Amino acid sequence: MSRNYYYFAATLPMLSFGTKPPLADESFLAQAAEFLTPGDAEVIANARLLPPEKDGKGEKALGEWLEFENALLNEIARLRAKKFGRDPRDYYRGDYVPDPYLAALAAEAAGEDDPLQVERRIDLARWEKLEEIELQHYFDLHFLIVYFLKLQLLNKWQSIREEKGREVLDELINPSKEPSQ
């Protein structure tokens, strides 16, 4: 039976896709270690956006996430392998189970010219899946696992924004000179 962590869950700020993360992953993990049992804190600390092919330690949220992530990566691998004339089975994570939604998502993303927009669309689908996994869970370990996965997505995009900001600043400070004619 899963424990409920009413106080800890109630103190966490809301997360919304595309917004600035309210805390760093490490800060969340430090708080989790303070309020959760050592075993539950370890489960959360091991929850990753890109999990190993077989993981989850019996946690339903992690199992659902792993299943979705593998299916998504398999659809992307199928499209890329087809594009380069290779056998997609060499690149699958686990068993390939066709998923029309993910196939359409991967095809839509593959048609995008901007790689950053491709990644954003895929991460939005990941976010939506996490919202689905989170349904009917408010204060338990299941909720906290999903919260941490969502936080990792937000922190990923924050680091992308910061990196892009540094590139823009570098270009402003050190503009490339056009060759004179």
Dihedral-angle region of residue 18 (phi above 0 means left; psi in -120 to 50 means alpha; beta otherwise): left
Q: What are the two backbone dihedrals, phi and then psi, of residue 143, each rounded to the nearest 5 degrees?
A: -60, -45
Q: Is residue 32 part of a domain?
A: yes
**What is the rounded CA–CA span in Å between residue 151 and residue 140?**
17
Amino acid at 108: E
**What is the rounded CA–CA span in Å between residue 69 and residue 67?**
6
Number of separate domains in the chain: 1
Return mean pLDDT, the chain. 89
In this prediction, residue 2 carries a pLDDT of 72
In this prediction, residue 143 carries a pLDDT of 96
In this prediction, residue 41 carries a pLDDT of 96
pLDDT tens by residue, 54-89: 655 568 899 999 999 999 999 999 998 998 999 999
In this prediction, residue 181 carries a pLDDT of 47
Q: Is residue 57 part of a domain?
A: yes
Q: Is residue 180 part of a domain?
A: no
Q: Is residue 179 part of a domain?
A: no
Q: Is residue 82 part of a domain?
A: yes
In this prediction, residue 51 carries a pLDDT of 74
Residue 48 and residue 59 in contact, taking contact as beta carbons nearer than 8 Å: no
Task: Give the CA count within 13 Å in the CB-facing half-sphere of 20.
Answer: 3
In this prediction, residue 131 carries a pLDDT of 97
Q: Is residue 1 part of a domain?
A: no
Q: Is residue 104 part of a domain?
A: yes
| Long-range contacts of 95-100, Cβ-Cβ distance < 8 Å, separation of 24 or more | 97/71, 99/71, 99/75
Q: Is residue 181 part of a domain?
A: no
**What is the rounded CA–CA span in Å between residue 40 and residue 28?**
13
In this prediction, residue 164 carries a pLDDT of 78
Q: Give every residue of the chain whose pLDDT is below 70, as ranges.
A: 1, 53-58, 169, 175-181
Please give the residue range of the domain that contains residue 131. 6-11+18-173
In this prediction, residue 53 carries a pLDDT of 62
